[in-house]
Structure 1
Amino acid sequence: MEKLKTTAADMVKAARNRIEEVETADLIAMMDDPDVVVVDIRDVRERQRTGAIPGSIHAPRCMIEFWVDPDSPYYKDAFGQEDKRYVFHCASGWRSALTVATLQDMGFDAAHLKEGFSTWVEKGGPVETIEKK
């Protein structure tokens, strides 16, 4: 295989240079703020295995651009709330960095949890169990 023009790590670094990153302790402190919407982009199996941030919206990475776009047949009203601050997260902050960069390119304002759900757990953030359906 030929060397790639851009590595995944380079893409994450470039995304992080142009998006807002939220520290874990800061998001934990925002948990009672009704204007903050936490969006979990991890796979459903990750959520079932490790739990989720209480009250977070699950929006699988593979669908997020369609769920955010009001012109898409897959649009979700959860992403059309006025005056809300959206903070996306994945397990380690890589997928969410790329996601937020893409959403900003679309014109959707959002931030991401810098170090992801794994750090959330390490720093004592609340976790709810997700049952298998």
Structure 2
Amino acid sequence: MKKGYKQLVDEASAQITTYSVAEAQAKLTDPHVQFIDIRDVRELEREGIVPGAFHAPRGMIEFWIDPDSPYFKPVFGERKEFIFFCAAGWRSALTTKTVQDMGLENVAHIDGGFSAWKAAGAPVATKPAKNESK
């Protein structure tokens, strides 16, 4: 293997903005910030969600962000800061680097992901039965 996931995550982390849970939580009610949950829907159902986060599965992120894609989601056209997170911060580090490379500006991710968020006692809600993402 030329590069394992650890090296890829380390390389991405060196080029992106990373927030601690406390720093991210301070931005939770900021109307100019959008939290983006890239976890699988089963993770949301099992672990809970960050209130107000938009769910964008990792497998679709490039297609949902690109305005030229037939799958583009308007939320990504808004002038906001986007804070990505996954379960542990690995997928979100790679995602943040990818979307930054695509030209999405003002992006960051949460160190330790949702696991760290939950462990810190930050707000968690139950995923609604029907996907009610923005």
Task: Give the TM-score band, short-chain normalised.
Answer: over 0.9
- 1:57 alignment partner in structure 2: 54
- 1:75 alignment partner in structure 2: 72
Distance apart, 1:69 and its partner CA: 0.3
Distance apart, 1:131 and its partner CA: 3.8
Matched residues, number: 129
Alignment deviations for residues 14-63 of structure 1 (CA, whole Å, 9 cap, x no partner): 00000000110011111111111000000000000000000000000000
Q: If the length of structure 2 is used for normalisation, what is the TM-score?
A: 0.93
- 2:101 alignment partner in structure 1: 105
SS in structure 2 at match of 1:112: strand
Give distance in 1, aligned partners of 2:10 and 2:19: 15
Q: Which runs of 5+ in 2 are unaligned?
A: none
Q: Which runs of 5+ in 1 are unaligned?
A: none
Matching residue's letter, 2:28: M
Q: If the length of structure 1 is used for normalisation, what is the TM-score?
A: 0.94
SS in structure 2 at match of 1:91: coil
1:35 and 2:32 matched: yes
Alignment deviations for residues 92-114 of structure 1 (CA, whole Å, 9 cap, x no partner): 00000000111111111211111
Give distance in 2, aligned partners of 1:107 and 1:45: 29
Regions of 4+ moved over 6 Å: none
Distance apart, 1:132 and its partner CA: 4.2
